[in-house]
Structure 1
């Protein structure tokens, strides 16, 4: 257990400092945060600041190509503590899918697409530890996907998809696999009127 904790700490080490690759925009008229870009270092902390400054907003709309799974997991824990839902209406891949899946209140629009593939470590472990680190990363991601009801076969299919390719999934395909979410429709006035699909988380 101690070794696993040390390994997690190693995986969480930040890469060289850089400008944020994401935007978190409070959108009061839409009743939600608009989130775009990669889930990189500082994402959870910035999301926490945005929530503190806008406590009335209870939904995150996200489009993202992915990023760091540990940062995604911490952000999902934050959203769950604050009882904030997460919605995808465009493309959400890799760590973005893990964030979506690990959040208790999950929503998709009909046009949403979730993308799975084999992850690429941001910072590789020394050769002797890379096999252990890779397995640990895969387990973290798989556990986050299981939280939403992803089947073992779909998780395996995602892990077998090369990192330079993406397995895109529609809401219909996800529902057929047993993934739990709410299918949300957004009328012209942007009011929030979700309807359940395959039950709620």
Structure 2
């Protein structure tokens, strides 16, 4: 009685399993399936706009990882088979380096997508005051003097800061006093390269060294506190800041002229007068 024999069928040269075994020609495996495929996946991810429901996002990430593993392993095996049979070892090394680079890029891309999803799902936190601009150790304080500007100054890193550049037409007297106290506490120099009027001059006078640029202007006048919700004794408030100017080395005559100027006007003394009165100090 004749014995039945079973003949094995040759493995198919195309298909998912064939690619996994490395049966594809290396130029197809490396360039078309691996590099081209990863590029196509990256383009598809651009269509996805986070946040995505977490179950769906998890499925997409797992599918992407599985596809990337299949692409990388198949290309690696294909190149190894081809080089072992037909080419030199340095070609194998170069091809494997290329495959490794694609694998790293794919892993980085998956992490980036996860980070985007996490950021999109995270609650938006209150960022707090935006720090003032700092360049070359100088803080740039620009705009109306207010408590918002004070908060921004407080939020500004002080490491390596030695001076503050002022550019303001004035603002809130009490906020200016608070800023002046902080400038003195930190021992900052003050400078004006554009303009510093009204309440801004209190901050300028707080500087350990006070400098006025060639185009800089200082402007002084008396107070108008009509906008404040509670009754305020203007004379008393002016006396407080007159004493402050005297403490900072300003002559009594200059301080008197400051508050004798109506709040509807502005007094802009020249550099000679500012230096003689002790306003500018090296």
**Same fold? TM cut 0.5:** yes
> Aligned with 1:169: secondary structure?
coil
- SS across alignment from 1:114: strand
Deviation at 1:180, TM superposition (A): 4.4
1:81 paired to 2:188: no
Which moved further from structure 2: 110-119 or 143-152? 143-152
- The one of 148, 155, 164 aligned to 1:60: 164
Is 1:41 matched up with 2:147? yes
Distance (whole Å) between structure 2 residues aligned to residue 140 and residue 90 of structure 1: 27
Bigger Cα Rg: 2
What whole-Å deviation, never above 9, does each CA across 1:30-61 have from its counterpart, x for those lacking one?
331111111112332221111xx341122111
Change (3 A) 1:156 1:147: same
Do the aligned partners of 1:69 and 1:141 also contact (CA within 8 Å) in 2?
Answer: no
Residue number in structure 2 paired with 1:123: 228
Which of 17, 24, 27 lines up with 2:132 in the alignment?
A: 24
8 Å contact kept, 2:190–2:206: no
Q: Does 1:106 align with 2:217?
A: no
Runs of 5+ consecutive residues of structure 2 not aligned to the other structure: 1-128
**Higher relative strand content:** 1
2:251 is the counterpart of 1:147 = no
Alpha-carbon distance change, 113 to 23 in structure 1, aligned in 2, over 3 angstroms: farther
**Structure with the larger RCO, 1 or 2 (CA within 8 Å, 6+ apart):** 1
Call closer, same or farther: CA 1:147–1:23 in 2, change over 3 Å: farther
Cα distance in 2, alignment partners of residues 58 and 48 from structure 1: 15
Query: Which consecutive unaligned segments of at least 5 residues does structure 1 have?
Result: 1-19, 183-201
How far 1:97 moved relative to its partner? 0.7
Partner of 1:13: none
TM-score (norm 2): 0.49
**Counterparts of 2:131 and 2:272 in 1: how far apart (Å)?**
29
Equivalent position SS for 2:160: coil
Which residue pairs with 1:95 in the alignment?
A: 199
Q: Tell me how far apart the structure 1 counterparts of residues 131 and 169 of structure 2 sit (CA, whole Å).
A: 13
Deviation at 1:149, TM superposition (A): 2.1
Query: 4+ residue runs of structure 1 moved beyond 6 angstroms?
Result: none
TM-score, normalised to structure 1, is 0.67
Verify the 8 A CA contact 2:131 2:153 in the aligned structure 1: no
As a proportion of its length, which structure holds more helix? 2
Answering whether residue 262 of structure 2 is matched by residue 157 of structure 1, we say no
